[in-house]
């Protein structure tokens, strides 16, 4: 365990058994075991209504699917969070602001996060407004719920916490950190299936290597993600 205050996560979901899931493995799992971050899951259905613990109802105005009720989700949030909790309250939603590496790094430098995993057609807009929930998206596609999206966000954040990765540089030279996609990587053997490691990487000239990597990163970004260069 560590004497450093853990980066704290409180997660609201209808499927608490999905956690820690992949977050219990590899870097994030080791960091969880060492107390570098903490994970508390809260079952929204504990505050469901009636004998069947109902959490949703039909959309006002008609339409397909179901909507998570404002009163149920609010009761769950109010029971699980204190009034002075300053952590960002993030609702994983396809209509939210896109998650970026810049935002990930900002979140990792804070006290932790509160995550709300939506399901069905969505969440009653009134609880989003009343409880100050910020909608965040991991991409322009639809998932069955916010759980997998939450795992993505947490994995991205946890790996940047102090003490999680072996070298600080591992987090500072990756794709998106400097507005570019990452340069190509190579390792032994020197030749494989007729393909060789670029000579510059074996030259020992660190200035040339840095220049080559920068040029490669710019070229790859121009080809694959020109929108990043425009930003």
Q: What are the tens digits of pLDDT across the range 172-219? A: 566 677 789 999 999 999 999 999 999 999 999 999 999 999 999 999
3-state secondary structure of 196: strand
pLDDT, tens digit (0-9, with 9 covering 90-100), for 138-165: 999 999 999 999 999 999 999 999 999 9
When pLDDT is averaged across residues 82-106 and rounded to a whole number, the result is 97
Closest listed residue to residue 231, CA positions, set 184, 183, 182, 178: 178
Mean pLDDT for the chain overall: 94
Longest dimension (CA), the chain: 72
Q: What pLDDT does 116 receive?
A: 98
Q: CA triplet 131, 133, 136: central angle to 5 degrees?
A: 170
Candidate CATH numbers 3.40.50.300, 3.50.50.60, 3.30.70.380, 3.40.1280.10; the one for domain 7-158 = 3.40.1280.10
Q: What is the pTM of this model?
A: 0.90
Task: Give the pairing type, strands 7-13 and 37-43.
Answer: parallel
Q: What is the CA radius of gyration of the chain?
A: 22
Would you say residue 96 has pLDDT above 70? yes
Candidate CATH numbers 1.10.1270.20, 1.10.10.60, 1.10.10.10, 3.30.565.10; the one for domain 173-230 = 1.10.1270.20
When pLDDT is averaged across residues 103-123 and rounded to a whole number, the result is 97
Six-digit token pair at 53? 């613990």
């Amino acid at each position: 365990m560590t004497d450093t205050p853990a980066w704290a996560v409180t997660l609201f979901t209808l499927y608490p058994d999905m956690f820690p899931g992949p977050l219990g493995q590899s870097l994030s799992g080791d960091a969880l075991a060492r107390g570098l971050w903490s994970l508390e899951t809260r079952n929204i259905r504990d505050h469901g209504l009636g004998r069947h613990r109902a959490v949703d109802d039909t959309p006002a105005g008609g339409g397909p699917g179901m909507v998570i009720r404002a009163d149920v989700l609010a009761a769950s949030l109010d029971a699980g969070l204190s009034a002075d909790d300053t952590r960002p309250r993030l609702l994983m939603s396809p209509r939210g602001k896109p998650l970026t590496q810049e935002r990930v790094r900002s979140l990792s430098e804070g006290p932790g996060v509160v995550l709300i995993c939506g399901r069905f057609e969505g969440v009653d807009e009134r609880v989003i407004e009343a409880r100050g929930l910020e909608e965040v998206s991991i991409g322009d596609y639809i998932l069955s719920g916010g759980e997998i999206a939450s795992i993505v966000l947490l994995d991205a954040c946890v790996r940047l916490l102090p003490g999680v990765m072996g070298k600080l540089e591992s987090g500072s030279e990756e794709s998106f950190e400097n507005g570019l996609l990452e340069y190509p990587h190579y390792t032994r053997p020197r030749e494989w299936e007729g393909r060789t490691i670029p000579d510059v990487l074996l030259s020992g000239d660190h200035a040339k290597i840095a220049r080559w990597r920068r040029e490669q990163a710019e070229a790859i970004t121009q080809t694959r993600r020109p929108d990043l260069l425009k930003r």
